[in-house]
Amino acid sequence: MSLKNDLIIRAARGEEIERYPVWLMRQAGRILPEYRAVRASLSGFKELVETPELAAEVTIQPVDLLGVDAAIIFSDILVVPEAMGLTYEMVEKKGPFFPKTIKSEEDLVKHAQVDFDIEDRLGYVTEAIRITNKELAGRVPLIGFAGAPWTIFCYMIEGQGSKTFAKARKVLYTNPALAHDLLQRITDVTIRYLKAQVLAGAHMLQVFDSWAGILGQVQYEEFGLKYIDQIARAIDEVPITIFAKGAFRAVESIAKMPCNTIGLDWNMSVREMRKLVGESRTLQGNLDPCALYSSHNEVERLTKSMLNSFESKRHIVNLGHGVYPDINPDKVRTFIETVKNYEL
């Protein structure tokens, strides 16, 4: 199926574009009443993730309702630890919870499995990708994704969200061998999982390292970037984006990886990052998600001001992190329309 709108792929590859492409992290989700309606008819988040027809439906909602230039498959980064043998619950209004966590080398055998068939355990994701593409009929590209090994490690050790992930960071000091063993296992599975998504029809991939920013520079090189680099090297089928939230010191290292796009959070200065990266990579981001709480005029002004700071065409427009659930979808539309009407 050929793509009618391939703007984001051209932007990722550094090819000619007529305007900047725009999408939002976490666009497929709670900001849309239409999403909440689908979700309310089900037992919970996991049922939605594991039912390919419904996952496809909510994946397409932001394309129809917001006019974004890409869809992102509706799933979660936590399906990977689950497939490895560590099941999670999504606790309403609280977030993920893993009843069992990784504490020892023995746990790895049972709860950090590597040798399994991806289609067997994560076939509901690849099936959702196939259905989504059929229904999108080439309107926009579909982004596949996974969590970065460090972020998945955080959840597998900590068992839930945390401000500091001190349990996860503790292991880096008390048992670095266990840490590396687990990170390598996650990496191996993630590479196979991402390749399965491409085979199913994902046109682009993004790796989310949401907790990159809680490690110091030296530790992030050793326990974070080393494994992301393996992933970037393994994927050559489609453009790949690396988003290491909070790790502005790592952007220079990421720019040396064979990736197409580097995600920026809103703390990062686009101008400074462009100086570091040069013209060899596309930058994605990075309006503060909270900017969408301001008035329509202000959203327009702030978005234009961000666009004016771009000194290159190698940009994909996004927020600096996922859209917050209580943002008014009309503000998102103003953001998107401002980007679409901006003359390059």
Interface with ligand CP3 by CB under 6 A: which residues?
25-30, 39, 45, 72, 74-78, 90, 95-96, 145, 161, 208, 210, 322
- 155 an active-site residue? yes
Shortest Cβ 202–ligand CP3 spacing (Å):
12
**C-alpha torsion angle, residues 45, 188, 105, 216 (rounded to 10):** -80
Nearest-approach distance from CB 48 to ligand CP3, in angstroms? 7
Can you give the three-state secondary structure of 66-105, one letter per residue?
HCCCCEECCCCCCHHHHHHCCCCEEECCCEEECCCCCCCH
The residue type found at 281 is R
36 is catalytic: no
Nearer to ligand CP3, 131 or 274 (CB): 131
CA atoms within 13 A on the CB side of 137: 2
Annotated active-site residue 233? The verdict is no
* Minimal distance, residue 70 CB to ligand CP3, in Å: 10
Active-site option among 10, 26, 192, 249: 26
Q: Say if CB 259 and CB 228 are below 8 A apart.
A: no
- Bridge partners, 95 (sequence order): 91
List C-alpha distances in Å: 177 to 21, 106, 173, 209, 222.
42, 13, 10, 21, 12
Residue 92 CB, nearest approach to ligand CP3 (Å): 7
Q: Is 301 a catalytic residue?
A: no
The residues pairing with 242 across neighbouring beta strands, listed in sequence order, are: 207, 262
227 is annotated as an active-site residue:
no
In the bound state with ligand CP3, the residue whose beta carbon lies nearer, of 191 and 312, is 191
Query: Looking at 20, 35, 155, 227, which residue is catalytic?
Result: 155
> In terms of CB distance, is 66 or 274 closer to ligand CP3?
66
End-to-end CA distance of the chain: 29
Return the number of the residue (38 or 304) whose C-beta is nearest ligand CP3: 38
User: Catalytic residue positions?
Assistant: 26, 30, 39, 76, 155
